[in-house]
Structure 1
Amino acid sequence: FLPSSMELPPGPTTEEQMERMRGMIFDRPKSLSVSEDGEVKSGSMEYLTRYVISQSFDAPACTEAFVLTYRQFGATPGEIMKYVETFFKKYVETFFKKPDNTTPKVKHKKGDKPQETLPPPLPILTERIVQFFKLWINVAYHADFQQAGLLAILLDFLKNKIHPVDARDGTTNAYQVKLALLRANDNYHKARKKKEEKDEKTEKQRNLLDISATTLAEQLTYKEALMYRAIQPPELLNLSWSSKNKNNREVARNVVLMVERSNKVSYWVATEICMCKDLRKRVQAMKRFINVAHKCIGMKNYNTTMEVIGGLNNISVQRLKKTWAELPERYQQMWQDLTVLMDTKNNYSEYRNSIGVAKQQNIPAVPFLGIFLRDLTFIEEGNSDKIGKHANFE
């Protein structure tokens, strides 16, 4: 609040402030390129900064897009801040200076001590700059105001530049920016804490690898057997599972679910291995999954076996040369046996022989679904529905 004894010089009208702001944005035709319908297409970073400040209320999405992308055009946070300060300074000077370039004096009542001279309130630009800062803080508080060191510069600007011409209504616009800073700081630390808790939870979840390979294989087999049995014959017709049409894919809902699960399990295997920062732990994780795949073969669960092999064959895992080199010879041989069994050579001949034996011996099995889908695709695409006018019943 200002002392009651102070008489402020009369402020410019809203129309005068708006006109002056527009004039300072479009005073250099070459600095902004405007389309026929009045939309700004391009411009110098300084004048684009002025433009998005003017639009911070009417088009906040435009301002947010600017503060998100300005770095891509070679500008730095410090440069954007200087453009804001320059815009504000020149704007204030156009109202604050008399024609003879002298500063208007504030009148005091008799007996009062001289007070600092203050300019008139200029809410039009002040409020827009404040809104610009609030949007900027919400979008890039940590990167621009903490890491890039703008926080102290912003606070100084609010205190020494914005506050003197701020609205005199008891709740200043500068306070709104400080409140936005406090909220952004609070949200940032909450997000960090949440991430740390998530990382801690993830680390605890890694104890899953402490479960025996047999137990993991049993649980994976149980889950996949249930999903496999849920697939109905109509789901395997007309390549419905690979259709781009949502309704067609819904027909093959259980097939789609199992395909999605297969991808998730493969990525889970690769992720668990790659998340181990220590070489020794990576080797242990790799051994565990090779053992799980080996146990699944013993349970005739070929689908999970292929999922684990897919994860181990992921490029992110295959490039871990030191980890593979540290793998004990026993596990190297187990891995070799697995890859031979599920090799694509001769149309998966080794796998087909193995599951054929299980079928002859009436042993329950979870087949590799990918083989069925591949064979069905060849059947659908390699045979026409009709022979002449007749249905191709064969």
Structure 2
Amino acid sequence: MSQQNNAPSQDITTRLIHHAYEPPAGFAAPQPAIHKASTVLFPDVAALRAREWKDKTSYTYGLHGTPTTYRLEERIATLEGGQQCLLAPSGLAAISTVALALLKSGDEVLLPDNAYGPNKALAEAELAHWGITHQMFDPLDPLDLAARISPRTRLVWLEAAGSVTLEFPDLLAQARICRERGVTSALDNTWGAGLAFAPFDLKGDGSLGVDISVHALTKYPSGGGDVLMGSITTRDERLHLKLKLAHMRLGLGVGANDAEAVLRALPSMALRYRAHDVATRELARWMGRQAPVAQVLHPALPGSPGHPHWQALCGSANGGAGAAAGLFSVVFDARHGQERVDAFCDALRLFRLGYSWGGPISLVVPYDLPAMRECATPHLADGHLVRFCVGLEDVQDLRADLEQALGRAFGN
């Protein structure tokens, strides 16, 4: 029913903008309503002055939160086992926010040598320009981490499993060292995704966890390869507020349509993660039996660097089968040149060349590993590394694609 809220003499444009109709409350549907706004309206000056956005009790401006972003933040906090969550425009934006909120000139940040490449680049460039130093530590040696922590160390990044080479560290020992030394620990938990292990409860008794869990929602929470988003989850209110104020001052926000896409995908996330995991393990084992392959890197496979640590932390999930992301890497024997390895990648038809992972399409990328590492890597075979992201295609079709590409490139 149309209602008139102003005198008929007003222009139709004014009447449409200030129309009085409000739909009835109580509409329930499987998917929540999506709220888009920059401006938030206040009923009176008292409300404008009284509202507080930092504790999510009300709304002041779209950048500070809407019902849609609040809802997604709460669900990601539940997924990660945290209490508070912030959304950022990408995983790297979430990483950058942590650094900018917690570090100042004269401070130092430590990173594992197998950390996400853009996080290392941030430390080497922007942070260095601002007088913040950094060191890389051996991700497989907790004693190396302990030895590098100094009075200037304010932040330690952890990653499980490591980027590209997928070493699984002794995350409990690393978190314990940071706790004992009073240094904030931040985990890039994109691989674990809140499903493989609990970042804030590593021992299962509530006694040990990381301080911050950063997650590229671009990957499994989105699941479609079409959203860029990151999250920062915490359990400590004071730490969260420090991060949130920096987040506000940096003007970071996410679009309602992107938040909607992640909200729609979250209910199927655990099912998709498991499907990626099962297919990945099958393909990784198969690749390990192929003649050109010197080494397969996958935390759930015995012999892969850090496998016992994966078993201890992730092995009880899924009824004892464990949980792992849909990634594995292969080191082709050094006797095969880079040109032949590149030809293998080019010959793939279902595995497409492209960065990122966690979506429905399988991906492949060759990496120049020596250019990516500072620490020695005696646990890695000599050769040329290729990383695979396994999508949701039929696993037999993917194996056939690998087989034909091996034949074309290596003559098998």
Fold match (TM-score > 0.5): no
RCO (CA 8 Å, sep 6+): is it higher in 1 or 2? Answer: 2
Which one has the largest radius of gyration? 1
More helix per residue: 1
TM-score bracket relative to the smaller structure: under 0.3
More strand per residue: 2
